[in-house]
Structure 1
Amino acid sequence: MVTTTGLAAAPPLPEGSAPAPGPAAEAPVAGDGHALAALLVLADGRFPAGGHAHSGGAEAAVKAGRITDGASLAAFCGGRLHTTGLTAAALAAAAAAGLDPLGLDAAADARTPSSALRTASRRLGRQLTRAARATWPSAALDALAAARPRGAHQPVVLGLVARAAGLSPLAAAYAAAYESVSGPATAVVRLLSLDPFEASAVLARLAPDLDEVARTAAEAARRALDEGPHVLPAASAPLLDITAEQHAAWPVRLFAT
């Protein structure tokens, strides 16, 4: 079952039973419904963080003929979610958990081999910082902005924003994971004139995978608190890195990435 937020809902438990301990039992938000509302604001594509200008590699995939319809969009989004989406979700969860954001920024650099994507990530991080400082003022965001005036990596900023908004590391992971697939799905509607109902269905069917990726990322963030950021996932998608470099050299393009 999928809830109105687009995230998978757990099946009802038998009467008298309790949730199993562990990552799956962690609440996506820390606190009450106000925190849940903050998650909805942060994950909303209309939040002015600059994501609307990016296709997440979908524009290059469309031109190459790798995305042609809803089925190929689903395959693309699924691959992206379990690679770069997982990596971003873990970085966001670790920042929300309280790891040193400068150390995480260096970890994000090491996990982003494409110079075009590193530049885009920092630009998005700078834009997200501007929007978040106006929405959820935070000394941590102020300090990161001062230390990285050209922008920290977007997943790291996202985690700090989630923390400032009262969200848990799991919620930060959900926001990053969802963003990794919602951007391409929205872009393909414009690039292919794909039926928006079909694109929304792709995202809804990815709900179980989103749950898995977010929980894996949050668990990695918990480990990183004790062992350091080197234990965070470093899943990669080499084809996305290669096509990002090619896309950046196009004289005419609809999206920045």
Structure 2
Amino acid sequence: MTASAALLTALRLSDSMLPVGTYTASYGVEQYLNEGDIETADELGDLVEGYLRGVIGPAEIVALGHAHRSAAAGDIDGVLAADERLSAATLPSEFRDSSTKAGAKLLDLLTEIDEGLFAGADTTGLVAAYTEACEDGRTAGHYPVALGVVCQQAGLDAREAALVSAYGSVTGLLGAAQRLGRFGHTAIQTQLSRLFPVLESVCERYHDAELTAMCSFAPLADVRGMAHERADRRLFMS
């Protein structure tokens, strides 16, 4: 893949226009705002940094990296193992549901596109086996795992795939807060710029980590996510 093609693929997979439904999830941010725990843009940035260091990096990027390596080796069992561990590390049921629905949509998109940036994807081999396992209920099909497979098939290396995933997660969390009407564009962009070094550091640390290193520690986010399931007012599915 040329440098330009790799960049275009990364942009495409991290774009909110990608029809996988991630824009419907706030992963607890809505509940933080509903309960008045986040009042300033800096507090929002601190929260997202906590997600990066406690969940996105050590859980999602570890799973993505393992899935990417497994896909490159044609190891479907390795991909399924990443799914299994990420399910175990994701406690709130809404978080799991959001992740698996987005993963299914991404796999559907990959198998439906015959031209363009996914033209080289092996949709009859490992992707087909993984999609079948998801449809049969043998694996969860979490979005970071599916994204790792898709990025590998599209020609991105594991570090690039990690950056795509982490960037999409961060912009999704910040975008959710913005769509809830609490923060303006400038404040959100300021926090995004502030988080770039953290995002890069987290991806560098975890994109090639062993699956056994996976962990997740964000207890307050987990509690907010569980409370969101019973909230009277909800604009997001998680």
Q: 2:111 aligned with 1:133, yes or no?
A: yes
| Residue in 2 that maps onto 1:177 | 166
CA distance in 1, matches of 2:46, 2:8: 30
In the alignment, which of 77, 80, 86 is matched to residue 51 of structure 2? 80
The residue type equivalent to 2:212 in the other structure is H
Deviations 1:177-204 (A, max 9, x none): 1122111110111213411121011111
What is the root-mean-square deviation in Å for CA atoms of aligned residues? Answer: 1.7
Once the 2 structures are TM-superposed, how far is the Cα of residue 175 of structure 1 from its aligned partner?
A: 1.5
The residue type equivalent to 1:104 in the other structure is A
Contact 2:66 2:208 in 1 (8 A): no
Contact 2:159 2:204 in 1 (8 A): yes
Deviations 1:83-121 (A, max 9, x none): 111121121122112261111111111211222322222
Contact 2:10 2:160 in 1 (8 A): yes
Larger fraction in helix: 2
Once the 2 structures are TM-superposed, how far is the Cα of residue 134 of structure 1 from its aligned partner?
A: 2.6
The correspondence of residues 115-194 of structure 1 with structure 2, limited to 5 A, is: 115-135=93-113, 136=118, 137=121, 138=123, 139-149=125-135, 151-194=140-183
Q: 2:233 aligned with 1:244, yes or no?
A: no
Can you give the 5+ residue segments of structure 1 that lack an aligned partner in the other structure? 1-29
C-alpha distance 60-165 of structure 1, shift in aligned 2 (>3 A): same
Once the 2 structures are TM-superposed, how far is the Cα of residue 132 of structure 1 from its aligned partner?
A: 2.6
Can you give the 5+ residue segments of structure 2 that lack an aligned partner in the other structure? none
Size of the aligned set, in residue pairs, is: 220
Return structure 1 stretches of 4+ with deviation > 4 angstroms.
Answer: none
Equivalent position SS for 1:206: helix
In the alignment, which of 179, 204, 210 is matched to residue 215 of structure 1? 204
Once the 2 structures are TM-superposed, how far is the Cα of residue 31 of structure 1 from its aligned partner?
A: 4.9
CA distance in 2, matches of 1:52, 1:171: 22
| Residue in 2 that maps onto 1:57 | 28
CA distance in 1, matches of 2:235, 2:190: 24
| Residue in 2 that maps onto 1:104 | 82
Contact 2:94 2:237 in 1 (8 A): no
Deviations 1:135-161 (A, max 9, x none): 434332221110111651111001001
CA distance in 2, matches of 1:31, 1:96: 19
In the alignment, which of 58, 62, 72 is matched to residue 90 of structure 1? 62
Contact 1:162 1:168 in 2 (8 A): yes
| Residue in 2 that maps onto 1:70 | 41
For structure 1, which segment, 117-126 or 196-205, has the greater mean C-alpha deviation from structure 2 after superposition?
117-126
Q: Give the structure, 1 or 2, with the largest relative contact order (CA under 8 Å, sep 6 or more).
A: 2
The percentage of counterpart residues that share the same residue type is 28
Contact 1:55 1:256 in 2 (8 A): yes
| Residue in 1 that maps onto 2:7 | 36
Contact 1:31 1:166 in 2 (8 A): no
Equivalent position SS for 2:13: helix
For structure 1, which segment, 40-49 or 99-108, has the greater mean C-alpha deviation from structure 2 after superposition?
99-108
Q: 2:212 aligned with 1:230, yes or no?
A: yes
Equivalent position SS for 1:67: coil
Equivalent position SS for 1:148: helix
